[in-house]
Structure 1
Amino acid sequence: MFTVTSAAAQQIREAASASGAQEMALRIAARVDPDGSVQYGMGFDDPNEEDMKLDLEGVAVVIADEYQELLDEIVLDYVELQPGEFNFIFIDGRQSGDVPEPAPTGGGGCSSGGCSGGGCGSTGRTH
């Protein structure tokens, strides 16, 4: 199951409050690029009837059916990558021993400010 750390949840709640999206859910999406890397995206959105709906650390999260398999065992965290530089990262719990390597994500609302100034990151590759 997709999970959210308490640090990520806190930042998501702050971003929702700052952008007036407190009544919206956080939509998570993913895709596999031709090189096998997985790109993650997220942004505030209204749930659809067919979405998987989760309440994680007090954050309403929705995932479309087409992304559920890619997002199984993924953890969304909010970490300090370098002194003073915080970012969201996605960690694949199926790949033990991986060290997160944040990278820009496609889709979602992060690059357009959907999750405040925290940005997004992706980790790992599918093999």
Structure 2
Amino acid sequence: MFTLTTAAADQVLKAAQQGGTEGMSLRLAAFQMQDGAIDYRIGFDEPTEDDIRMSCAGVDIVMTPEQVPLLDQTTMDYVEMEPGQFRFIFLNPKDPHYKPPTEV
């Protein structure tokens, strides 16, 4: 199952409001690179009949059935990477470059 942290959900909802895409679903996509790493894509989109649909922390999420194996067990977070620089990150134990977060 895919999950969003509260910080990620808040930022997704804020972005939808600012971008005029309120009510649209967050579409997730993941692609396995040659080195095994996983590349992630997100954007607002309308669901299709074939999509897998879920809701997490107040955000409607859609993905194609083909995306499920790569995104299962993944958590999307919104974190400050450096002072004042925030971005979405994906914590996925299936990614060979995954390192579990540590407390700071």
Mark yes or no: TM-score above 0.5: yes
Q: How does 1:92-111 map to 2 (within 5 A)?
A: 92-93=92-93, 98-99=99-100
Amino acid across the alignment from 2:19: S
> Structure 1 residues 59, 68: closer, same or farther in 2, change over 3 A?
same
Structure 2 unaligned spans of 5+ = none
**Would you say how many aligned residue pairs link Structure 1 and Structure 2?**
99
Give the TM-score, by structure 1 length.
0.74
Pairing 1:71–2:71 present: yes
Deviation >4 Å, runs of 4+:
none
The 2-side partners of 1:99 and 1:55 are apart by 24
- Asked if 2 retains the 8 angstrom alpha-carbon contact of 1:75 and 1:93, the reply is no
Report the equivalent of 2:33.
Answer: 33
Structure 1 unaligned spans of 5+ = 101-127
Superposition CA RMSD, Å: 1.5
Give the TM-score, by structure 2 length.
0.89
State the identity %. Answer: 43
Once the two structures are superposed, what CA deviation does each residue of 1:74-127 show, in whole Å capped at 9, x if it has no partner?
Answer: 0000000011110000001457x8157xxxxxxxxxxxxxxxxxxxxxxxxxxx
